[in-house]
Amino acid sequence: MFYPDQKEAFAKLLTVVKGRRVAVLGHMRPDGDCIGSQIALTRVLLALGVDAVAVNRHPVPRDIEPIVQDTPFLLWDEFTSEDHIAINVDCADPIRVSQKLVDIFPQSLANIDHHISNPGYADINIIEPVSAATCEVLAGLFFDFDLPVDAVTAQALYVGIATDTGQFRFPSTTQQVFKICSRLMDCGASPNEAARHLFENERFNKLALLQRFLASLRLELEGRVCIGRLPLKAYHDTGAWREEAEGFVDYARDIAEVEIGILLEEYEDGTLKGSLRAKDAKYRVDQVAKFFGGGGHTCAAGFNVDSNIEKFYHEIVAKLEEHLADVAPVEV
């Protein structure tokens, strides 16, 4: 078994959903793991005869779209609750599904996730912080319970794992990840097909935005930190979409001597999103994110603040200086 400790909780979940209508909710600005988890859980519930639908505040990103296939997937304003119960996937905090969806579902039945900061806010909580992706947790549970995993479900789970492990590079990439992916290939998942729509399908506007981001990179704190900035203007000038900055922060982290990479992005509503990526878990970037009201993993975390880049830049550098004073650099 992949997740013996979750056997009881997942069995309870499968019992409670019988005869109910279920909305499978994901987080705002969804990523591959979020969408993959929603597709997979919705499809498996449907196969079990449960009336299930995936619902999100924001649309499925263009590069992930091909995996949705015939899965019922709605935006929040296309969805009408008819006594549905909610299951949240990949959401460390209930508000991550958006205020609009919290208004419809003040309390979720279940919460399936892999974020260390998840406090277990639902009636049934399945949280596996050591797992690389929520899709890994779901795939493991489906195999443990011998549930029907069709080719579309397998591909969705594979895409979630491939994206949340940074294409099998992050420290979270365990032997279990490969065992599960191998089983998913048995069920029809295709890594090559996934790679084609995820990585060989770029828009020119995105590369124009990437040029702006790369030109903005600055080393701070004796080169231990690298910060890239995307002001509103960068989006206006290039016509790139928000979700196209996904992964840019990795360039900042990937510089040889840099320990933490950061992306600061401005939003139209006067807020600023910070994304943090560390080379090693000991940097605990989740703690830095938490200080600014966010959260995440030890190596990958984020937050939103009411500010702009000009005002906030010095605040984050000051906080990192204090944070890094206690952490020795990684030997390369």
Give contact residues for Mn ion (rule: CB under 5 A).
33, 90, 134, 164
Phi, psi (rounded to 5 degrees) for 82: -115, 75
Q: Which is nearer to Mn ion, 129 or 191 (CB)?
A: 129
Q: Which is nearer to Mn ion, 52 or 161 (CB)?
A: 161
What is the smallest separation between the CB atom of 134 and Mn ion, expressed in angstroms? Answer: 5
Q: Which is nearer to Mn ion, 137 or 209 (CB)?
A: 137
Residue number with the smallest Cβ distance to Mn ion = 33
Alpha helices in 118-254, H assignment, sequence order = 134-144, 151-164, 175-186, 191-199, 204-216, 232-238, 248-253
Q: Which is nearer to Mn ion, 164 or 265 (CB)?
A: 164
Give residues with Cβ within 8 angstroms of 262, minimum separation 6. Answer: 225, 226, 227, 228, 249, 252, 274, 275, 276, 277, 316, 320
| Whole-angstrom distance, CA of residue 265 vs CA of residue 176 | 35
Helices (H) and strands (E) in the chain, counts: 12, 12
What is the smallest separation between the CB atom of 235 and Mn ion, expressed in angstroms? Answer: 25
What is the smallest separation between the CB atom of 33 and Mn ion, expressed in angstroms? Answer: 3
What is the smallest separation between the CB atom of 114 and Mn ion, expressed in angstroms? Answer: 6
| Whole-angstrom distance, CA of residue 227 vs CA of residue 318 | 13
Give residues with Cβ within 8 angstroms of 15, minimum separation 6. Answer: none
In our burial notation (b when 16+ CB lie closer than 10 A, e otherwise), range 180-216 reads: bbebbeebebebeebeeebeeeeeeebeebbebbeeb
What is the smallest separation between the CB atom of 63 and Mn ion, expressed in angstroms? Answer: 16
Q: Which is nearer to Mn ion, 90 or 244 (CB)?
A: 90
Reduced to 3 states (helix: H, G, I; strand: E, B; else coil), residue 320 is: helix
Q: Report helix angle 151-164 to 191-199, nearest 10.
A: 60
Q: Return the H-helix or E-strand segment holding 24.
A: strand 21-25
What is the smallest separation between the CB atom of 117 and Mn ion, expressed in angstroms? Answer: 12
Q: Which is nearer to Mn ion, 63 or 90 (CB)?
A: 90
Contact between 301 and 260 (Cβ < 8 Å):
no
Beta bridge partners of 227: 218, 262
Q: Which is nearer to Mn ion, 164 or 246 (CB)?
A: 164
What is the smallest separation between the CB atom of 172 and Mn ion, expressed in angstroms? Answer: 10
**Shortest CA distance to 25 belongs to which of 87, 82, 81?**
87
Q: Which is nearer to Mn ion, 68 or 135 (CB)?
A: 135
What is the smallest separation between the CB atom of 238 and Mn ion, expressed in angstroms? Answer: 27
